[in-house]
Structure 1
C-alpha cells in the first residue's frame, strides 16, 4: 500500500515543511493544528489550483505525464514518467520538475515511485497531454500494431489529427460505416462519445506518437531578443520621465483643487472628467487614468463624504508637494508597484457592455501587484541598459514560466506594465532603469537611486527677447517657485520654457512682489541681460497694479486718483458690485473683497488687495482639501505579507506539537483504565511527581472552555499542580478543581 501524504510530511524535517509553507502560504492560514490538517489542505482543489499557477511549462508537462501514468491512483516510477516525456527532455529537467512538485507537496515519494495528489486531476486539462481516456481492454498491443500498419490514407489522416490533440473530434459522417470514421469505429481505433463525436483512445494515441508520447515539449524558456541602449542613456531618460510625471501630477492636483470632479453614483470618475483631466495634463486618457489611480491609492486625492461627493486633494498632498522630487517620485512608484488594480482596464467594456470608469471597483484585481512585479523581475534579469526588442518578447518568456497565470489578459498585462512603468520612469526605452531596479530590492531606497541620476539643479535661467525664459535643467526649489509665480510653463522636457505675460506678472504682484523685486530676481538669476520687452512688461503691469486698493468693510476701494475712482463708479461693468463713494478717494461695497476685485478685473481694471498695514495681500485661491485617510507617506498594503523565517518555524513547531498531542490523546483513549475526575487527581499527581512520570490532563478554564495538556508534574500543593508542558517546554500551573480527567502516559 503506498505511503499516504500525511505520513510522508511527518517524515520531513522542519526546513522542508517551512519551505512548503513559503511556497504555499495559503496552507498556513489559519495555522494548522497538526500535520494531518496540513496534508488535508495540501490536497484541496483550490489550493492545488493556486500553487499550479506558479509552475513553469516544463513542470506542468511533467505533472501531466504523472497524470497520464495514473500516479493519482498508484505510484508512477520515474522511468515511466521519463518514457512518456520522450528522448528530447534531459534527465536534469525531469529531476528538477519532480523536485519542484515535491517541494510543493503535489507529489511525494513512495516505494513504487511518485504519488500524485488526486486533486491535480481537476486542475489539469480534461485530456492530459492531449491524450484520450484509456481503453486497455479494447485492443491488445500486437493487434493494435497490425491495425495501424494497414490503415488507408484517409483513415491515417483522421487518426493523426486526433493524435496531435485534442483527442475529441466531431464528424457528420461518423454514422456512415463506409466512411473513414465509420471504418475506424468498427475496428475499435475510435470510440463513440455521442452521435456526432468520437474519441481517440489513449493507447492508440500513444502508439501513433511513437517515442514522444507527450508530443514535442518546450523544456527550455524562450530567450527574448534584446537591444543594447546603454545604462546612462536609460537612466537619463528615466530621470526626465520622473520629473515630467511629477509636473503633470501637480497640474492635476491644482485642477482638482479648483474644480473637483464629482464621484459617479456607482463610484469612480466619469468619462468626461477623465478626458478633461487628460487635457489639463496634456496626456492621453490611459495615462490620465493611471495618474488618477495612483493619486487615490497614495491618499493624495480622496472622495468627500458629503451628499454630492467629489474627488479632491487631501491634506497629505500639501505635505507630499513640499518634499524633494526623489521622495515624491518614490511614493508614486511604490504605490504603483503594489497597486491591486489594473488601470489598463479603464475604458474597456464590462459584462453589461458599459465602459469601465477610472477609480471604480471594476478595475480592482488583487493579484495585479504580483503580476506587475513579475514583469519587472523579468526585465531585471537583463544587464543594466539592455532592453527587450518588444513587449511580446518578454511576454513569451513570462508565459513559458507561468502559463496558467494571467488568464485572457496575460499578454496585455505585460504591455500595460511596460507602458505604465515608462510613464513613471521605472522603465525607459524598454529597459529597467536604475531607480526601477532599486524599487524591486527590499531594503534599498529608490529615492536615493533616482537622486543619483537626476541632473544637478541649476540656479539660473536664460531670458529671451520673446518674453520667455529657458531653464536648462531642474531649477533650485526657491527659484522654481518664484519663476512659476511670475511666468507660465509653455513646454517641459530636458529644458523647461516659461512664458511671461501681463496676467502672470500680475499674479506675482498680487502675491506681494514689487516690480523691483521681480527685476532684481531676474537680473541675478539670468545668464543673459534682461530684455527690454520684459522690463517694459513688468513696469507697465506694476504701474497699473495697485492703483486701486481694496479692504474688508465688507470691502472698500481707495485710490489717490479721484478721476480713476470716478471712472470705476461710472463703468457699466461695476454696477453689480454695489459700490458707494464715501470720500473722493474711498468707496465701499457690501460684497466680499474677492468678488469686488474679480469684478473690477473683469471690467478691465487692475486692483490689488491690501492688509491693515497697507501692504499687498495675497488672495490667490488655495484650492479645496479634505482630510487624509492615512498618515502622509503611508500606503495601503495590496496583500498580507508572506510569513518570514521565524514565523514559519513557529508554525512548524506548532504543527509538531499538535501531532505529539494527538499521539498522546490516542494513547489515553487506548488506555484500559484511565483515572478520571478531580477526586483521583491529587494522589495520582503526587505519585507522578515522585516517579517523574508524564500525565495527560483534561481541564476547563475560567471561561468554561475545555482544554488539555501533557505535563511532567514538578509539584502538587495549595490546590494547584505545577509542571512543565512536554510539547512547548513552558511551565504551567493548573487548579486541581478544574481538572476533569487525568491519565498517566508510559
Structure 2
C-alpha cells in the first residue's frame, strides 16, 4: 500500500468525533465538501493547507516535527512513539511529548502506520527555525551578547546580516571556507558567532541573531519548557481604581473630540483618512496629544460615533467628504459612564486595525494617516485578544513584564513570533490602559468580563469600580471650581456650561470667566439661576468676586438684542444702539438704524453675534416673542450609511454543521466504494434509462438503499446514497439518510444506479 493510501486509510479509521475535531482545526479541508477520504487526504497534504494548520502550533510540537524529520532525513525508518520519547527525554517529559503528538495527529500533520509515526511531507517546511537548530546543544549567544556584538558592527557586515534576517537564514559564499581571509566580512561574523558555518560555501544565520535583528522576542528552540514571565502583584482595588480613572479621562476626551468635529468637521483625505494637520487641530482643541487623539478617533469611528460623508449643516470648507459625528453620538453623550465605555472598549477589542501605527512611515516613506486604509491588519483583533488572554490566565491583580510576555507568546506560536514584537506588546498594553481594560499592567475586572464577550457583565463591573458621582463642588476665591470626583450628569452639564475645564484627574478644576458666564446666559440661564447653582452645590462659601462678576455680566447681557432680518439689533436703550451704530463694527456689518431702538443688517446672525462681541458689546439672542434663546451652534451631524461595507470576517462552522459534513463524507465514501449490487449505466451513458427506472422502482418497493450518480443543474457530478420513496412524473423522491429529509432528483439527470447490500 502506498503512503497516500495508508494516510487515507488512517483518516478513514478515525472516529467521527476525531474528524469533526480535524475540521474544526482545519476548516479549509471542508470547503467544498470532499467526496471521499482520498480527496480529504489529498487536501490535508497540500502545502498551503499544511502551513496554515501549523501557524497555531507551539514550540514542543515543532520540536517533535524536527526530530521526526531529522531521523528520516538520515535514511532511518520512521520513529515509534517510544523512540521519540527517548530522543527528547532530556528536553521534555513523556506526557508533554504524548500531548504534542496527539495535537499533531488531531491536525492530520502526522499519522501512524502501525507503531511508526509518519509526517505529512510538507510539515517540515513549516518549522519556524532552520532544520536542526532546535536539536543543537551548543549554547547560542545570549540576547545581550548579540546586541553588544551588533552595536559596533561595520556597515557591510550589518547589511549582510540584515539581508539574511529578511530573506532567509542561509546564504552561499566563497568566504565560508576555513582558509578564507580573516579580514573579510563573513569570517569576521563567523568568529563573532553571528553566523554559523554549514560547509565551505554555505553559512547560516543563528535563530537568536535573526530574532534580535527583526526586533522579535528571543527564545531558544532547544528549550521546551514554557517561559515564565516575571510577575508583579498589585492590589485588585488599585488596579480597578486606576482603570476607572482612565475610563473617566477616555470618556471626557472622546466627548471633546465629538464637540470639535461637530463644530468644524474635518475634511477627509482623498484616500479616506484624516490628515496630519486636522489631527493636530483636533488634539489641540481637545487638550490632548496627537498620539492619544489618533487612538480616540479610531475608536469613535469603529463605534460608529463618527463617520465619513457630507454632514448637515454643510461645512464651508471645499471637500468631497468630511469626518463628523453621527446622530448616535447625541444619545451616547447622554448615557451613563459605564454604558458609554462598553461600545468603545468592544470596538477596540474587535478592531482589525492598529491605531498605534499612525505616524509610522509606509513603503513610500510617507506617514500613515489616522483612519487610513493602510492601518488595517487582518490579524490585529486576534493578536490583541491573545495578549489580553495571556494576562487573564494570571490571578487578578497580577502584571506580567512586557518582555517576558512577548517571549511567552512567541514560544507558544513561534511561526507568529513577528506578531509579538516588543513594539506590538508595548503599544497593545498602552491602548488597553488608555481604555481602562488594563490598570497598573494587570487586567481589570471589567476587562476580564469584556474578554468573555459578556458586555452587560463588563458594564456592571465597571459601574462597581467607578467612584460614586458627587453632587457638590468647591468654589475658590480665584474663580476656580474644584469637582472632588465625577459629578452627577446634570451638575456636570451645568458646570461645563458655566466654566471651562482647566485641569483634570481625580479632581477636575474648572475656570469661570466673563466669556463662560456669558455662554450660560446665552443658553437661557438668568443671574438668579447662576447664584442658586453655586449657592446650592458649593461646599465652600461663594466668594464675593464671583457674585459681583455674575451680576455685572448679567447687567450688561441682553441689553442689546439680535435677531434675523437677515438679522437685526434692538435695544431698549437708544443711547446704546446709537453707540453701536457709531462704532466701526456698524460699517463691517452694514448696520442701518430703522428706529431709535432697532437696526437691521444683511449679515448672517452668527456673524452678527461674533462681530458685536469682538467689538466689545454683549448681545443676546431672542425669539419671536422676545424671550432670550440659546443660539449656540448645535454642531454638524452625518448620517451613517446603512449599506456601508463591513470588513469580511469568515464565520467558523459550528460543531453541528461539522458533524453533518462528516456524516455526508461517510455516506459519500460508502457510495464511492460500493462494489456489490446491481449496477446500471456505470459508464455514465444514457443507454439504459428503462433499466435504471426499473431498479429505482424496485428499491422503492422493497425499501432498499441505492447509490446514484447525479448531475445537478450546474453540471456538477455528485454521488449520493439514498432510499427511494416514490418514482414518477420524471422525478425521484428519495430519503436522504444524512439529513433525514426527502429530496427530489430529476430522472434524466441520474447517470448511474446501484443497489446496496
Q: What TM-score does the superposition give when structure 1 sets the normalisation length?
A: 0.85
Pairing 1:726-737 to 2, within 5 Å after superposition: 726-734=737-745, 736=747
In the TM superposition, residue 733 of structure 1 has moved relative to its aligned partner by: 4.4
Aligned in 2, Cα 1:61/1:499: closer, same or farther, shift over 3 Å? same
Q: Does 2:431 match 1:420?
A: yes
Q: Is the 8 A contact 1:252 1:277 kept in 2?
A: yes
| Greater Cα offset, 322-331 or 39-48 | 39-48
2:12 is aligned to: 10
User: In structure 2, the residue corresponding to 1:587 is in which secondary structure?
Assistant: strand
Partner residue in 1 for 2:655:
645
The alignment status of 1:365 with 2:368, answered yes or no, reads no
Q: Distance in 1 between matches of 2:505 and 2:410?
A: 36
Preserved contact between residue 34 and residue 665 of structure 2 (Cα < 8 Å): yes
Cα contact 1:385–1:432 (8 A) shared by 2: yes
Q: Quick one: which of 548, 556, 563 aligns to 1:551? A: 563
> Are residues 28 and 582 of structure 1, via their aligned partners in 2, closer, same or farther at CA, if it must alter by over 3 Å?
same
Matched, 1:227 2:196: no
Q: How does 1:360-439 map to 2 (within 5 A)?
A: 360-388=372-400, 390-407=401-418, 410-439=421-450
Aligned with residue 451 of structure 1, among 441, 452, 463: 463
RMSD of Structure 2 on Structure 1 (CA): 3.4
CA shift at 1:280, angstroms? 3.0
Note if 1:107 corresponds to 2:110: yes
CA deviation map 1:100-134 (0-9, x unaligned): 2112111112114111111113222674123999x
Structure 1 stretch 533-542 or stretch 50-59: which is displaced more? Answer: 50-59
Note the alpha carbon deviations across 1:32-64, whole angstroms, 9 max, x for none.
444433333322222222232222222211121
**Aligned-partner Cα distance in 2 for 1:96–1:492:** 53
Deviations 1:566-593 (A, max 9, x none): 0000001221211111111111112222
Which secondary structure state, in structure 1, belongs to the residue aligned with residue 414 of structure 2?
Answer: coil
Change beyond 3 A, Cα 1:90–1:578: same
1:712 matched to 2:723: yes
Which residue matches 1:563? 575
1:483 deviates by 1.0
* TM-score, normalising length: structure 2: 0.84
Alignment of 1:251 onto 2:256: yes
Structure 1 residues without counterparts, runs of 5 or longer = 134-165, 182-190, 200-214
Q: Does the C-alpha gap of structure 1 residues 168 and 684 become closer, same or farther in structure 2, counting only changes over 3 Å? A: closer
Contact residue 297 and residue 635 of structure 1 kept, 8 A = no
Deviates most, 457-466 or 84-93 = 84-93
Does 1:688 pair with 2:699?
yes
Is 2:295 the partner of 1:285?
no
Go from structure 1 to structure 2 and tell me whether the alpha carbon gap of 1:309 and 1:700 turns closer, same or farther (over 3 Å shift).
same
C-alpha separation in 2, matches of 1:673 and 1:386: 68
Distance in 2, matches of 1:126 and 1:458, equals 59
Deviations 1:338-389 (A, max 9, x none): 111112222222222222222222211110111101110111111111212x
**Cα displacement string for residues 446-490 of structure 1 (whole angstroms, at most 9, x for unaligned residues):** 212111111111111121211111111111111111111111111
The answer for the alignment partner of 1:466 in structure 2 is 478
Q: Equivalences for 1:277-676 in 2 at 5 Å?
A: 277-304=282-309, 307-388=319-400, 390-407=401-418, 410-445=421-456, 446-629=458-641, 639-664=649-674, 668=679
Please give the alpha-carbon distance, in whole angstroms, between the structure 2 residues aligned to 1:453 and 1:694: 65
Question: Unaligned stretches of 5+ in structure 2?
Answer: 137-168, 187-195, 205-219, 311-317
Structure 1 stretch displaced more, 516-525 or 634-643: 634-643
Say whether the 8 Å CA contact 1:551–1:610 is kept in structure 2: yes
Name the counterpart of 1:274.
279
Which residue does the alignment assign to 1:217?
A: 222
Give yes or no for contact 1:675–1:742 (8 Å, CA) kept in 2: no
Aligned partners of 1:324, 1:638: CA distance in 2, in Å?
32
What is the Cα deviation at residue 662 of structure 1?
2.7
Of 48, 51, 64, the residue aligned with 1:49 is 51
Change (3 A) 1:628 1:727: closer
Aligned length: 688
Q: Once the 2 structures are TM-superposed, how far is the Cα of residue 406 of structure 1 from its aligned partner?
A: 4.3
Equivalent residue in structure 1 for 2:91, among 69, 75, 88: 88
Distance 1:620 1:83, change over 3 A: same
Q: Secondary structure at the match of 1:550?
A: strand
Moved more, 618-627 or 231-240: 618-627
Deviations 1:136-193 (A, max 9, x none): xxxxxxxxxxxxxxxxxxxxxxxxxxxxxx89886648385999x9xxxxxxxxx999
Q: Could you say if the C-alpha distance between residues 307 and 679 of structure 1 is closer, same or farther in structure 2, counting changes exceeding 3 Å?
A: farther
Deviates more, 1:283-292 or 1:561-570: 283-292
CA distance in 2, matches of 1:449, 1:630: 33
Name the SS for the 2:653 alignment partner.
Answer: coil
Contact 1:338/1:637 (<8 A) preserved: no
Give me the whole-angstrom Cα distance separating, in 1, the residues matched to 2:429 and 2:176. Answer: 50
Task: Decide whether the 8 Å contact of 1:58 with 1:217 is kept in 2.
Answer: no
Distance in 2, Cα, partners of 1:423 & 1:261: 24
Contact 2:684 2:751 in 1 (8 A): no
1:116 aligns with 2:128: no
- Indicate conservation of the 8 Å contact 2:668/2:721, yes or no: no
* Cα distance, 1:316 vs structure 2: 2.1
Secondary structure of the 1:245 match is: helix
Mean CA deviation greater in 721-730 or 379-388: 721-730
CA distance in 1, matches of 2:344, 2:225: 37
CA contact 1:289–1:346 (8 Å) conserved in 2: yes
Q: Which residue of 1 aligns with 2:216?
A: none
Q: 1:46 to 1:309 in 2, by over 3 A?
A: same
1:717, distance to aligned residue in structure 2 (A): 4.9
Contact 2:721/2:736, CA 8 A, preserved across alignment: yes
Deviation at residue 638 of structure 1 after TM alignment: 7.0
Tell me the residue number matched to 2:27.
25
Distance in 2 between residues matched to 1:62 and 1:689, nearest whole Å:
54
Larger gyration radius, structure 1 or structure 2:
1
Moved more, 560-569 or 663-672: 663-672
State the 1:433 CA deviation: 0.7
**Which whole-Å CA distance do the structure 2 matches of 1:178 and 1:287 have between them?**
54
Q: For residues 583 and 251 of structure 1, do their structure 2 counterparts lie closer, same or farther at Cα, with a shift above 3 Å needed? A: same
When residues 457 and 63 of structure 1 are mapped into structure 2, their CA distance, relative to the original with a 3 A threshold, is same
Partner in structure 2 of residue 204 of structure 1:
none
3-state SS of 2:469 partner: coil
- Using the TM superposition, give the Cα deviation of residue 666 of structure 1 relative to its aligned residue in structure 2, in angstroms: 9.9
647-656 vs 368-377, greater mean Cα deviation:
647-656
The Cα offsets for residues 72-98 of structure 1, whole Å up to 9 and x where unpaired, read as 996332233334435232212211211
SS at match of 2:91: coil
**Would you say the 8 A contact 1:226–1:387 is kept in 2?**
yes
Q: More displaced, 465-474 or 437-446?
A: 437-446
